[in-house]
Amino acid sequence: MASDAPAAAGRITPAALLARKGKEPIVCLTAYTYPIARLLDPHVDLLLVGDSVAMVLHGHPNTLGATMDMMIAHGQAVMRGSSHACVVVDMPAGSYEDTVDNAVTSASRIMRETGCDAVKLEGGVAIAAQIAAIVASGIPVMGHIGLLPQSVEKEGGYKIKGRSEANAEALYADARAVEASGAFSVVIEGTVEPVAAEITRRISIPTVGIGASPACDGQVLVIDDAIGLTVDRVPKFVKEYAHLRDVVADAAAAYARDVRSRAFPGPEHLFSLTKDKA
């Protein structure tokens, strides 16, 4: 049985993950809440408080619904529930793209108010200056290239990357830009396998794949996808390690039957005039 207590060892640092390039794969899952962080923390190297929380927990149609306040609140919850994994918080759309100063201000606020270990932002060449400035301010950065969920409206949907030679070359340039700007790692999302593998070979920082390649230096999944709790479409790249949709639905149905038949609450759930445990 998996322990629900945070690990006792010290928290993994971004520098330690950087040193994992080409070594033991980095295990990453998203987390948005205190109990999930507690359950995952002993088993993973990195907990990503992804802006996917806007979709997964708040019902938005895409990640553009994430706000700074939302990311900070969930980042705080995950930090309270973890002590082992490196915690990275996504910078939401609109918090870093326009100017370098805004990027540093936003990153600083996330770090200050959550106590997390690093921030993540999407893009390569186009935001290299922002990455460099955030790193120069003393904040570790995780990059994100390939399919960029924050650009879904601009691109007219979720489109797999690297299928043309020109697009593959653009991805190589993005990866080099993220590396040169000082990021300690980079997520590669929704990219054809040979291109993701080649990016991993070409750069000196760890790559973390999601819909990318087993050759990446690590892998990440959205936790609700991985445990079969996603109620909408499950992406092709997901492997479901459990099927909690059925567990939750069956539990709710059993509870409803007991309430309607007055089988719950039973005598063991009630308080008497004598002292008993709450």
Query: Which pLDDT band holds residue 118 (cuts at 50, 70, 90)?
Result: very high
Question: Do 208 and 216 form a contact (C-beta atoms < 8 A)?
Answer: yes
Question: Do 148 and 189 form a contact (C-beta atoms < 8 A)?
Answer: yes
Query: Which pLDDT band holds residue 2 (cuts at 50, 70, 90)?
Result: very low
Question: Do 12 and 46 form a contact (C-beta atoms < 8 A)?
Answer: yes
At 223 the pLDDT is 98
At 126 the pLDDT is 98
Question: Do 211 and 158 form a contact (C-beta atoms < 8 A)?
Answer: no
Helix (H, G, I), strand (E, B) or coil at 141: strand
- In the annotated binding site, the residues are 51-52, 90, 120, 122
Q: What is the mean pLDDT of the chain?
A: 95
Residues sharing a CB contact under 8 Å with residue 112, sequence separation 6 or more, in sequence order: none
Q: Which helix (H) or strand (E) holds 200?
A: helix 193-202
At 1 the pLDDT is 37
Catalytic residues: 189
DSSP state of 203: -
Please report, for the chain, the start and end positions of each structural domain, with discontinuous segments joined by +: 14-243
CA 78 to chain CA mean position, Å: 11
Residues sharing a CB contact under 8 Å with residue 157, sequence separation 6 or more, in sequence order: none
Name the E strands within the chain: 26-30, 46-49, 86-90, 118-120, 141-146, 185-189, 207-210, 218-221
What is d(CA 12, CA 264) in angstroms, rounded to the nearest whole number?
A: 45
Tally the C-alpha atoms within 13 A of residue 34's C-alpha that lie toward its C-beta.
5
- In the annotated binding site for 3-methyl-2-oxobutanoate, the residues are 51-52, 90, 120
Q: Which of 49-53, 155-159, 258-262 has the lowest mean pLDDT?
A: 155-159
Whole-angstrom Cα Rg for the chain: 21
Which fold would CATH assign to domain 14-243? TIM Barrel (3.20.20)
At 7 the pLDDT is 39
Query: Which pLDDT band holds residue 170 (cuts at 50, 70, 90)?
Result: very high
Question: Do 194 and 214 form a contact (C-beta atoms < 8 A)?
Answer: no
Structure tokens, 68: 């700074």
- In the annotated binding site for Mg(2+), the residues are 51, 90, 122
